[in-house]
Amino acid sequence: MKTSFRHLFLGAAVALFFTLTRAALAQDKPPAPATPSGQGPVPPVEPAAAPAPAAATAPVAAPATAVVSEKVEAPKPAPAVEPASAAAPEMRRLDQPVESSRKTAPAGSKDASAPRRHSSGDERIAVGHDVHLAKDEAADAVVAVFGSATSDGEVGDAIVSVLGDARANGPVGDSAVAVLGSTYVNGKVGDTVVAVLGNVELGPEADVGGDVVVVGGTLTRDPKAVVHGDVSNVALPGLFGDVGWLRSWFYECLFYGRLLAFKPGLAWAWMVGFVALGLYVLIALAFRRGVEKCGQTLETRPGYSLLTALLTVLLSPVAIVLLIVTGVGIFLVPFIAAGMFVAALFGKVVILAWIGRRFTKLLGDGPLAHPAVGTMIGGLLMLLLYTVPVLGILLFKLLGWLGMGVVIYTLILVTKRDRSAPTAGVVPVAAGAMAGGTLPGMTAGETAAGVAAPPLVSGSTLPRAGFWIRTAALLLDVILLGIIVALTTGGGKLALFGLATYGAIMWKFKGSTIGGIICGLRVVRLDDRPIDWGTAIARALGCFLSLVVMFLGFIWVAFDNEKQSWHDKIAGTTVVRVPKGVSLLT
């Protein structure tokens, strides 16, 4: 469209220039009328005799442009004495071609505007199929989305193809571009030739006024092809040199709203599907208890599972944005993203196992009742359903969201059970107390000797802390440390090391961090011995291992029977919930 407006403006300027020049010539009148031979008397409005000497040198059939050039190039005024008989006839002869050209302009306007016929506002755009511009046609632009664009005619602006090939056999005013496709040029292109994840081929008649850019493809150039700009070839590793495989998936699958299809060129997509199914089966084999527990949640509380999934999908983006805006909470964004990824992955296994169990339960509770078998059967069924247009991609997204909601709601239920479990651990310390324990009238915290027994915080007697309460305590510690770092140094490059140092010191002296104290948590050794420097440092360094493997070491608490993270297992520690009334500051 920009070329069309440029040509319209240029044409209007040229027409205005000729009009003003014609008016100026008409106002220069000769001092006396003259009568040339065979033409009759000159009308009073004829041009003056002043430009006659210049006009006399012009040919008899000179075009209108000759009048312009002679009028502009005359540097001196006309002489005082001039042959009027010779000047007037020449001026009349110059007028005749101008008048005749005006009368014949409509007949000749088609040929005169032929090079600019693409400025008519005609654009050829196709979505979902190919578009072709014939040899005797012209258009401003030729664009194809999910298809190929071919031009044998004249294109004023550009020829563009997305997920298809762009072929320019005729002149193109601007550029020839193909995204996820190849570009073929065998004509004149005013600007650049581009192919993204595709190849570029320049024929023998190719004349490129700008650059040639190839991203993730190859360039084939005929020796006769001319490129006035630079040639850039950006190579990409892997299979990106030929994207026909990806284009086939876009055409046959994504365009129809499905993930798979029984079409040629899609064997790689089926291979990806079977590899993913194998991964799901391995997860079901490794975490049988977790899969069964989540499946039980889905069967007994489907409404709450669906509500949790809906709230997670709607609120998780808002929570991430708020954490990023606050600044100090940006450290938690990777944790949340990794947690949601793992929950979605595990949730997909749960849903497939639950679907497969609808069939395996008909065979009894034998080996076929294993969640891995159900996952395989449910996965094969889903692969077939993924080939159904529209339904395929909807099932993929809905099952992923539902599975994530089931996993999160199961974690919530486990946390509630831990919180509602009876707290024990306030035990007498008097080793020599009588077998009867307390005497009548004494409280449970007094021994027979009448001495108040200090409570014993033990990993074997107190309930273990779950995933969510530990995450809340960590969040409080991160926010506190972020505020301190922002007020002191103003930077966060050493924030992770500062957090590990802070944790080691607090575990050694207080057995908990500030976040843990607020949430009623304490780090204890499994052998009930006090935490020394070796244990505290080993646990702090183990946090980095739990962090680098996609935060899996922290998430492990949600699925571990002992409620231990990776760094807990390394240091031989665990986190317990301290009963109310027990001070954590001593």
Helix pair 391-420, 467-488: axis angle to 10 deg: 90
pLDDT in tens, 321-379: 877 776 666 777 887 888 888 889 999 999 999 999 988 888 777 778 899 999 999 99
CB distance 545 to 491 below 8 Å: no
- Domain coverage including residue 67: 2-112
Strand partners, 195: 178, 214
- Residue 502 CB neighbours (<10 A): 17
- For residue 404, the model assigns a pLDDT of 92
Among 362, 377, 406, where does a domain finish?
406
Q: What residues contact residue 62 under an 8 Å CB cut-off, 6+ apart? A: 94, 97
Query: 150 and 104: one domain?
Result: no
Query: 26 and 99: one domain?
Result: yes
Please tell me the total count of domains within the chain.
4
Structural domain contains residue 248: no
How far is 174 from 194, CA to CA, in rounded Å? Answer: 12
- For residue 147, the model assigns a pLDDT of 84
CB distance 182 to 201 below 8 Å: yes
Q: Name the phi and psi angles at 150, rounded to 5.
A: -125, 135
> Longest C-alpha distance within the chain, in Å?
152
Structural domain contains residue 318: yes
Structural domain contains residue 586: no
CB distance 537 to 548 below 8 Å: no
Among 374, 406, 438, where does a domain finish?
406
Query: 164 and 267: one domain?
Result: no
Strand partners, 193: 176, 212
CB distance 148 to 181 below 8 Å: yes
Structural domain contains residue 567: yes
CB distance 257 to 392 below 8 Å: yes
Question: Distance between alpha carbon 497 and the CA centroid of its chain, in Å?
Answer: 33
Structural domain contains residue 352: yes
- For residue 454, the model assigns a pLDDT of 47
- For residue 13, the model assigns a pLDDT of 54
pLDDT in tens, 403-426: 999 999 998 888 776 555 554 444
Query: 103 and 151: one domain?
Result: no
- For residue 574, the model assigns a pLDDT of 92
Ranges in the chain, pLDDT < 70: 1-121, 236-244, 326-329, 417-460, 487-494, 580-586
